[in-house]
Amino acid sequence: MANVDESVANIDVCGRFCGSCPTYAANNLKAGKPSPLFCGRGGSPKSSETKKEGCNCPNCGVHTRYKLTGDYYCMK
């Protein structure tokens, strides 16, 4: 897991990207913890039930700032 700070700024940026993410919305990931900032907090406990519907992670400012290389962090 990446060393992403759980700062208010990062949570704000990630909230905008996770909130509009097709996988996040289609699988109702807002209903569980952690929510959002999966790249720093870990995947959703629902990850075994989650179906890939598209990923916004690579376009997120947190992803860029921390030089992350993955995607679908909600499922990891």
7: which 2 tokens? 């700062």
Q: Tell me if 2 is assigned to some domain.
A: no
17-59 per-position pLDDT tens digit: 888 899 988 998 888 777 778 898 888 888 788 899 999 999 9
Task: Evaluate whether residue 30 is within a structural domain.
Answer: yes
**pLDDT average, residue stretch 64-68:** 93
Q: How many domains does the chain have?
A: 1
Structural domain includes residue 14: yes
pLDDT attached to residue 1 = 55
33 within domain boundaries: yes
Stated pTM of the model: 0.84
Q: Is residue 51 part of a domain?
A: yes
Give the contacts of 56 (CB within 8 A, at least 6 positions apart): 17, 18, 20, 21, 22, 24
Note whether residue 1 is domain-resident. Answer: no
49 in any annotated domain? yes
Q: Is residue 3 part of a domain?
A: no
More confident residue, 61 or 36: 61
Residue 36's domain comprises 8-75
CA pair distance 18, 44, nearest whole angstrom: 12
